[in-house]
Structure 1
Amino acid sequence: MSLVELIAQADDRSLAAGGLACLDRCLPLLGETDDEALRPLWSSLEAGGAGWADELTRLRESYAGVDGDDEGAQLVRAMLAAAPGEFPSGGLRAWAEACSSAALQVHRLLDATDDDGPLTAGELRRQTHILDLLTTASGGLRQALVVSTEGRRVVRAVVSRRARVQG
């Protein structure tokens, strides 16, 4: 099933997790980030959304003063800003779609090509795999988090390598 079809068929929890996973993988573009920064939001999803609004507010505040004006950082800030303040929310599908597109664009920027290079292809695979995990009986949030963590490490390595080359 395609990514578009998976998003169209996803429930609120899967949409929130899909958007959160995209944000999670792209956070390294905002500089040094705590690997546990999004863990409270993941835990909130596990608990049916309890505390989502408070944890989202805390996360937004923690990244409010973070530098980074390049296009990738702007896309990540937009993902965070657009996250629905309540869970569940009627805005989850639109947010998940926007996060998916933004994360793919971030990876295109990292690939430094308008075509789908290896980073973009990997991101597309991760997004599809995460939604597959969330919509099957055998999958769940923990497995989605593992896949997302792997993707964040890839992005962090690319960002770090570029910083060393430029600096």
Structure 2
Amino acid sequence: MSLVKLIAQADERGLAASGLACLDRCVPLLGGDDEVLRPLWAGLVDDGEGWGEKVAKVRGELAPPASASDSAADSASASDSESGSGSGSGSGGGEEIVLLARRMLDAVPVERSGDGLREWADVCSISALRIHQLLDPLDAGGDDSVAACRAGRTEGASHLVAAELRRQVVVLELFAQHGAAGARQALGVATEGRRVLRAVVSRRARGARR
């Protein structure tokens, strides 16, 4: 089943998990530590009580100082310049990557219910795939390519983008099949993806300094 259909069929808990997992994978771009979203993960197993307060706390912890975001943007921008990827997938560079991550955080609904969650899940899905596309110098695709991947047409997708797509699908399937019991495995999927993203950003930064 395509990612678009999985999101369309997901319940509120699954939608929250989908958005949260995408954001968690991209937390390094916002200068956050690995534990910053744990209160929201813990909230997936309850009825959503206190969700808004937890969201506000996370936003506060991931707010500037801008130096952390600037550092991530500078690393990605420098490697874009070094690799000559100033066009295609490199357009916008590190600044666009960080803005996409910030967009996911800013869009978190203060209530874990309703259409707001589905909209957030879509925002996070698209943003996370685009981030991985921009981070991959071998991927010259754009928004159309991201839309095709979400619809199940993955021909030509780079390894980095295809892997992120698989992670998004797995998280939604876990909650569709197991409900709240899928939270621990979904967190593991997000953690694995965060390590991949951090390694890619670090490798690009090292390459830019050579």
Range of TM-score over shorter length: over 0.9
- What is the CA–CA distance in structure 1 between the aligned matches of 2:140 and 2:48, rounded to whole Å? 37
Q: Secondary structure at the match of 1:91?
A: helix
Is the CA contact 1:15–1:96 (under 8 Å) kept in the aligned structure 2? yes
Whether 2:106 is the aligned partner of 1:81: answer yes
Q: Secondary structure at the match of 1:137?
A: helix
Q: Secondary structure at the match of 1:83?
A: coil
Q: What do residues 44-71 of structure 1 show as CA deviations (whole Å, max 9, x unaligned)?
A: 1122212211111111111221333511
Report the TM-score, using the length of structure 2 for normalisation.
Answer: 0.75
Is the CA contact 2:27–2:34 (under 8 Å) kept in the aligned structure 1? no
User: Percent identity of the aligned residues?
Assistant: 55
| 1:88 Cα deviation from its structure 2 partner | 1.9
| 1:132 Cα deviation from its structure 2 partner | 0.7
Alignment-derived partner of residue 12 in structure 1: 12
- What is the CA–CA distance in structure 2 between the aligned matches of 1:135 and 1:166, rounded to whole Å? 42
1:25-104 equivalent positions in 2, closer than 5 A? 25-31=25-31, 33-65=32-64, 66=66, 67-68=69-70, 70-104=95-129
Q: What do residues 1-47 of structure 1 show as CA deviations (whole Å, max 9, x unaligned)?
A: 1111100000011001000000001111223x311111000011122
**Long gaps (5+) in structure 2:** 74-94, 142-156
Is the CA contact 2:26–2:101 (under 8 Å) kept in the aligned structure 1? yes
User: What is the RMSD computed on CA atoms of the aligned residues?
Assistant: 1.5
Q: Number of residue pairs matched?
A: 166
Q: Secondary structure at the match of 2:26?
A: helix
Is the CA contact 1:22–1:99 (under 8 Å) kept in the aligned structure 2? yes
- What is the CA–CA distance in structure 2 between the aligned matches of 1:119 and 1:74, rounded to whole Å? 19
Whether 2:135 is the aligned partner of 1:110: answer yes
The structure whose Rg is larger is 2
Is the CA contact 1:45–1:52 (under 8 Å) kept in the aligned structure 2? no
Q: Secondary structure at the match of 1:46?
A: coil
Q: What residue identity is the alignment partner of 1:161?
A: R
Whether 2:200 is the aligned partner of 1:158: answer yes
Alignment-derived partner of residue 168 in structure 2: 127
Is the CA contact 2:39–2:54 (under 8 Å) kept in the aligned structure 1? yes
**Long gaps (5+) in structure 1:** none
Q: What do residues 50-98 of structure 1 show as CA deviations (whole Å, max 9, x unaligned)?
A: 2211111111111221333511110000100011011123311011011
